[in-house]
Structure 1
Amino acid sequence: MDEISAARGEAGETPSTPKARPRGRNPRGQGERLRDEIVSATLRLLDDLADDEALSLRAVAREVGIAATSVYIHFEDRDALVYAALERCHRDLMRGLDEAEAAAGDPVARLRARLLFLGAWVGRHAGLYKVLHESTLNRRTHLAFKDELAERTTAAVQRCMDAGLAPADDAAAVALDLRAAVHGTVSMRVNEPDLPWPPLEDQVDRFLTKLVGVRPPGGGHP
């Protein structure tokens, strides 16, 4: 996911648009590989467009180098394709969050690492972040895979409480407040980049102190 590049295709392609570059046929039994390539191309385009409604299946086909009709072999419509792309995006993001957490120390450091990784990821993939959370598909359809993010954050907050590093409280409610604060600041950084933003680490440390009740490593060691 960190190697996502700017998309080369226009979303609103017309019949006069140059044909897709030639592409060899996948050997028998490799249809799944083509499906993966379509999803990867969709992710690149969505990251560039930052808008699921600006995406066209023709542009996706051109990015992969196939006929537009080939996309329909794997995906019923644009919604199905965008859903599959966002599901992979979420899965890759969760893997990165888990790896960042695992490399940290105590429960507070691990929670902090998750939040900072999310902020760094959004900085690299602002377009995907907007589609993941602000797309029309997100408003029309429950993206069930996103529930995992809330559950993991709640579990991370609960571990801080269980370890005596945060006051006992309703972990789900605290985690929701924390998620709202972090998503608010990363979204504002994307949409209002010219504001005089402090380092994200400083804001995250304040959120952890004020909302979770911990003394975060980095901002002020116990």
Structure 2
Amino acid sequence: MDKTSARGRNPRGQGARLKEDIVSVTLRLLDELGDDQALSLRAVARELGIAATSVYIHFADRDQLVLATLERFHGELMRAIEQTEAGPADPVAKLRARVLLLGEWVHRHPGLYKVLHESTLNQRTSMAFKQELADRTTAAVQRCMDAGLAPADDPAMVSLDLRAAVHGAVSLRINQPDLPWTPLEEQIDRFLVKLVGIPPEAL
């Protein structure tokens, strides 16, 4: 008996659950593939043991499914960052924890990171949900400035420089792992000192 016939139909009212299951499987497959173009809706259906038509009921095409999956991935990342920031008391420690968590998260999910930031879908489709991460990083930089722990400056520009440096670092670590990398924590501390202006002794 194949997977499709084994699973059967969802009971009435469980369509939302199937939709969530589809996204969960797509999360795993995208992380393994690191390429949205290599994903097929039929492969997702096979993993769940359902007919491909059941996927199309919830997602009109692959792009729609990938976008929904990336939005969930981004939401999970934001919740993880919020939990990490809740620990430290001072603004610098909160900003540092935020950036470190981002780097660690990418290390655990390099495939999803590639699809989120380096895929063809990212180039041709607006992913407005990513703006939340940018805005919250800017707010974290602003808190450091307000507390006198970083020089007064344009927080949005400083935040952009910091995010560009961190994204570049994690992307290079994924794509060129054989370079002589220092620990990510040390590199992020250098970014905070050089780009945000935080005194080394404050880290």
Partner of 1:58: 42
Worse-matched range after superposition: 27-36 or 97-106? 97-106
Displacement of 1:24 = 3.3
Q: TM-score, normalised by structure 2?
A: 0.96
What does residue range 1-222 of structure 1 map to in structure 2 within 5 Å?
Answer: 20-21=3-4, 22-215=6-199, 220-221=201-202
Give the AA of the match of 1:162: D
Aligned-partner SS, 1:96: helix
Unaligned 5+ segments in structure 1 are: 1-17
Provide the C-alpha distance between the structure 2 equivalents of 1:138 and 1:20, rounded to a whole number of angstroms. 33
Displacement of 1:59 = 0.2
Residues 21-74 of structure 1 deviation map (CA, whole Å, 9 limit, x = unaligned): 521321111100000000001010000000000000000001111000110100
Displacement of 1:221 = 4.2
Provide the C-alpha distance between the structure 2 equivalents of 1:60 and 1:137, rounded to a whole number of angstroms. 18
Displacement of 1:102 = 1.1
The Cα RMSD (Å) is 1.3
Provide the C-alpha distance between the structure 1 equivalents of 2:100 and 2:199, rounded to a whole number of angstroms. 16
Displacement of 1:104 = 1.6
Provide the C-alpha distance between the structure 1 equivalents of 2:3 and 2:119, rounded to a whole number of angstroms. 27
Residues 148-170 of structure 1 deviation map (CA, whole Å, 9 limit, x = unaligned): 11101000000000111000000
Unaligned 5+ segments in structure 2 are: none
Aligned-partner SS, 2:181: coil
Give the AA of the match of 2:172: M
Answer yes or no: is the 8 Å Cα contact 1:20–1:61 preserved in 2: no
Answer yes or no: is the 8 Å Cα contact 1:20–1:67 preserved in 2: no
Structure 1 runs (4+) deviating above 3 angstroms are: 18-21
Give the AA of the match of 2:171: S
Aligned-partner SS, 2:65: helix
Q: TM-score, normalised by structure 1?
A: 0.88
Provide the C-alpha distance between the structure 1 equivalents of 2:107 and 2:129, rounded to a whole number of angstroms. 22
Structure number with higher helix proportion: 2
Provide the C-alpha distance between the structure 1 equivalents of 2:15 and 2:50, rounded to a whole number of angstroms. 13
Provide the C-alpha distance between the structure 2 equivalents of 1:153 and 1:101, rounded to a whole number of angstroms. 11
Paired residue total? 202
Provide the C-alpha distance between the structure 2 equivalents of 1:198 and 1:79, rounded to a whole number of angstroms. 37
Displacement of 1:215 = 2.5
Displacement of 1:120 = 0.7
